[in-house]
Amino acid sequence: MRESAKRWMLGVLLCGLCLCASANTTNDEANKGAVGSSASAAQPEVSKQITVSLPPALPAASDSSAVARINVLLPLQSDVLREAADAVRAGFMAAYEQDRIGVAVTIVQTTDIPEEVVSDYTNALAGADVIVGPLTRSSAAAIAESGAVRIPTISLTQSDVESASAPALPPLMLTMGLSVEDEARQTADWVASGKPSGKVYAICTGKAWQRRAAKAFVIKAQARGLDPVLVELGSAEGYLSASDLAQLKKQLTTEKPAAAFLALTAEQARQVRGLIGADAISYGTAQLNPLALADWTTAERVPDLNGVRLLDIPWQLQADHPAVMIYPKLVVPADKKRSADLERLYALGIDAYRVARLVAIHRQQFELDGVTGRLIVGFNKAGVHFERVEPQAMYREGMVTLVDRGR
């Protein structure tokens, strides 16, 4: 598969576009290699959940026979999604190796067909206390609408059923995917905290993820009392339309913005940065950070983005973060560069295990200082709640650095 197509797919997963999900068949050999004896049949049975409520409590942690079973559905059989799924799997297993006592993990390999994923999900229910997955939006929607969700299920994406006109998610289904819409809403809060006086421009192209981010920002900005203006620019092959840029420059000259939200890639942001002016602070999502954390030390600097503010996850910003320091880095072939998007998916896998483990041992309300942000989780009979708060960052001296919130 061409590298450009792989990069597009990673962007799709991280930016929340709709994809066909994959189906899954269990691969015993792969499971043994990934999980070892912890998922073997020799482990004692735990109570299986057959109603929409949390499963009965496990024996006390001091009882070495207690096993919480977590089944993980990932599209490892999909040519399109395999690399992304493997990054999530690697992160999940890295976290499992750090804290595996009393937990059995089974990796269930799927394809990328939603109907098949629903079948695999249904089959996986019998051997699990918690299910993690799927990875794609369309599969999550298919599972949510199937009526099959009877035990805690942690989706690694956002579901298509989550909209004002769509039905609510099942009571035991939690979504914790990395979402540009969530980042856009959090950014709107950040902008509002600065009490800008004047219009706030939200700039995007016709790309679906950019439109979604810009729309989410505008809605939240309006709710916070801001005056947002949505501007959509034409683009081709990543380059913005010259005529649209000229029109934007004219518009910004006439009506200087108080701030701007750039629902763009880093390269596109560079193309509009000079038009906005130094008086208006520019903000954006993690897509403005194109490099893995380790690569910034040797990367070419990007001075024309100095002062631009963005959100990203601790794994991408904080090498000295307590949780980031614990886990091994994603293994990358010697002939390949690190991918910022794969790093984020690896980090998602780490936090997915940490959340799943606590849910499996019946922690119903908790917070985690995770590698994808501060996670606030509520998972009980009354419903589910998930919130991720990402750190603030900005471009300084041509590179992305963490913002000191104490300043």
The pairing of beta strand 383-389 with beta strand 373-380: antiparallel
pLDDT of residue 404: 74
The pairing of beta strand 392-396 with beta strand 309-311: antiparallel
The pairing of beta strand 239-240 with beta strand 235-236: antiparallel
Residue 60 has pLDDT above 80, yes or no: no
Q: Which of these ranges, 2-6, 155-159, 353-357, 370-374, has the smallest mean pLDDT?
A: 2-6
d(CA 394, CA 403): 6
Residue 101 has pLDDT above 50, yes or no: yes
d(CA 141, CA 170): 10
Q: What is the pLDDT of residues 352-387, one digit of tens each?
A: 999 999 999 988 899 999 999 999 999 766 678 999
Torsion sign over Cα 99, 103, 109, 114: negative
pLDDT of residue 17: 41
pLDDT of residue 405: 58
Q: Which of these ranges, 35-39, 104-108, 150-154, 264-268, has the smallest mean pLDDT?
A: 35-39
> Which pTM value belongs to this model?
0.85
For the chain, give the mean pLDDT. Answer: 85
Domains of the chain: 3-178+329-368 (3.40.50.2300), 181-312 (3.40.50.2300)
Amino acid letter, residue 231: V
